[in-house]
Amino acid sequence: MEAERIYNFNPGPAVLPLEVLKEAQAEFLNFNKSGMSILEISHRAKEFEAVLAQAKADVKELMGLGDDYEVLFIQGGASLQFAMLPMNYATKEHPGSYVLSGSFAEKAYKEAQLLGVGTVAASSKESGYHHVPQQDELKIDPGAAYLHLCYNNTIYGTEYHYIPETSGVPLFADMSSDMLSRPLDFSKFDFIYAGVQKNLGPAGVVLVVAKKSLLEKTADQLPTMLRYNTFYKKDSLYNTPPAFCIYMVGKVAAWIKAQGGLAVMAERNAKKAKLLYDVIDQSNGFYNGHADKDSRSFMNVTFRLPSEELEKKFVEDAKKIGLGGVKGHRSVGGMRASIYNAMPYEGVQKLADFMASFQNAHE
């Protein structure tokens, strides 16, 4: 660990691989011998075109997807995707069908609801969002334009460990907080999007990976910038894209490849998550995990302590030893450790050791 850098457990913006930050730093003043920073380069310059093309190719290669999928970069955060999806694809006759599994899933549904084109396929809200709805809980309208899932619930710390069977209804997923964290049969999904500031880069852009057949659909009634087709036809260069963000996503994708790809990410992420879940499970109830065991997230580990006072002290004491960002979201309370791809094993080990000694001292 670099001097003065902490272990950053923030949910997003979040930790990035140190190697990637250093590479960006080294290239910062003179990108690819252009005599300019990547921040100063035209998005029409050949240097940038190469960055965009490489980022797209690496993302698709990591996901094992072929020519029937395209990669887009869109601004407005994952939150704008919540609105763009129903605007482009849902109608009153063929609504978007939503699985409510947490705060962001609900927000996505609310945008469709505003437009009068959203229905609910399943919800775990009543039971406190401790699990993601399982296959037998899903009631998918066979006429739905799509089934929308939030694949990892960043706030509640739950994650899907199966890919729903939809009987032909296109499968859409918000993967903001677990994109490229593990291998999946991505070809089972028709539309995937991720705000990159969780696991893939700095805030400012959303990575969209979708079937070309969906992106080819024109939606002429919509303003130009709200149509996926605009981004598709112009290779994400209809207007000025956030070049630096795309460059960083490209670097992170290349880093994942160099580490060995998604299988290696998954193996590391499972090991890291196990360290924390083991402490929780062996704490005799001192640490109370939010997620049901079969829905536990490998990315965001959420847990409570016996009192709010102890929770406050936990955050303070953790900070003193260089463990930052462990405070949970206000809607769940307690702690949340976000342990994305870039969080090293050593950081999680240090947090697990701290948890054990904190329990010893305060039980």
Ligand X SMILES: *Cc1c(COP(=O)(O)O)cnc(C)c1O
What's the distance, CA 278 to chain centroid?
24
Pattern 244-273, ligand X, x by CB under 6 A: ------------------------------
- Residue 38 or 78: the one with the smaller Cβ distance to ligand X is 78
DSSP class per residue in 14-82: ----HHHHHHHHHHSSSGGGSSS-TTTS-TTSHHHHHHHHHHHHHHHHHHT--TTEEEEEESSHHHHHH
Residue linked to tokens 């690819």: 32
Tell which positions 33-62 bind ligand X, by CB under 6 A.
none
75 interacts with ligand X by CB under 6 A: no
Segment interacting with ligand X, rule: CB under 6 A, options 39-47, 55-63, 171-179, 234-242? 171-179
Residue 150 per-residue DSSP state: E
> Which residues have CB under 8 Å from 264's CB, separation 6+?
none
Segment interacting with ligand X, rule: CB under 6 A, options 23-31, 53-61, 75-83, 119-127? 75-83
Q: Return d(Cα 329, Cα 358) in angstroms, integer.
A: 21
Which of 13, 54, 75, 77 is in the footprint of ligand X by CB under 6 A?
77
Segment interacting with ligand X, rule: CB under 6 A, options 16-24, 73-81, 138-146, 207-215? 73-81
Minimum CB separation from ligand X for residue 193, in Å? 9
> Which residues have CB under 8 Å from 64's CB, separation 6+?
183, 186, 187
- Nearest residue to the partner ligand X, using Cβ: 77
- Residue 111 or 174: the one with the smaller Cβ distance to ligand X is 174
333 interacts with ligand X by CB under 6 A: no
Which of 106, 174, 190, 311 is in the footprint of ligand X by CB under 6 A?
174
- Residue 189 or 286: the one with the smaller Cβ distance to ligand X is 189
Pattern 185-204, ligand X, x by CB under 6 A: ----------x--x------
Residue 129: closest CA among 332, 334, 329: 332
Residue type, 219: A
- Residue 104 or 146: the one with the smaller Cβ distance to ligand X is 104
Tell which positions 104-123 bind ligand X, by CB under 6 A.
104
Tell which positions 6-35 bind ligand X, by CB under 6 A.
12
Which of 72, 85, 99, 150 is in the footprint of ligand X by CB under 6 A?
150
- Residue 104 or 287: the one with the smaller Cβ distance to ligand X is 104
Minimum CB separation from ligand X for residue 315, in Å? 21
Tell me which long-range contacts 312-320 makes (C-beta under 8 A, separation of at least 24). 313/362, 314/358, 317/354, 317/358, 318/351, 318/354
Residue linked to tokens 């696991």: 199
Structure tokens, 190 = 């028709």
Minimum CB separation from ligand X for residue 67, in Å? 28
Segment interacting with ligand X, rule: CB under 6 A, options 71-79, 276-284, 319-327, 349-357? 71-79
> Which residues have CB under 8 Å from 288's CB, separation 6+?
280, 303, 304, 305, 334
Asked if the bond preceding 13 is cis, omega within 30° of 0, the reply is yes
Structure tokens, 151 = 């694949």
73 interacts with ligand X by CB under 6 A: no
DSSP class per residue in 223-281: -GGG-HHHHHHTTT-SS---HHHHHHHHHHHHHHHHHT-HHHHHHHHHHHHHHHHHHHH
Segment interacting with ligand X, rule: CB under 6 A, options 76-84, 124-132, 162-170, 312-320? 76-84
Segment interacting with ligand X, rule: CB under 6 A, options 141-149, 172-180, 220-228, 332-340? 172-180
78 interacts with ligand X by CB under 6 A: yes
Segment interacting with ligand X, rule: CB under 6 A, options 29-37, 72-80, 141-149, 348-356? 72-80
Binding residues for ligand X, rule: CB under 6 A, are 12, 77-79, 104, 150, 154, 174, 176-177, 195, 198
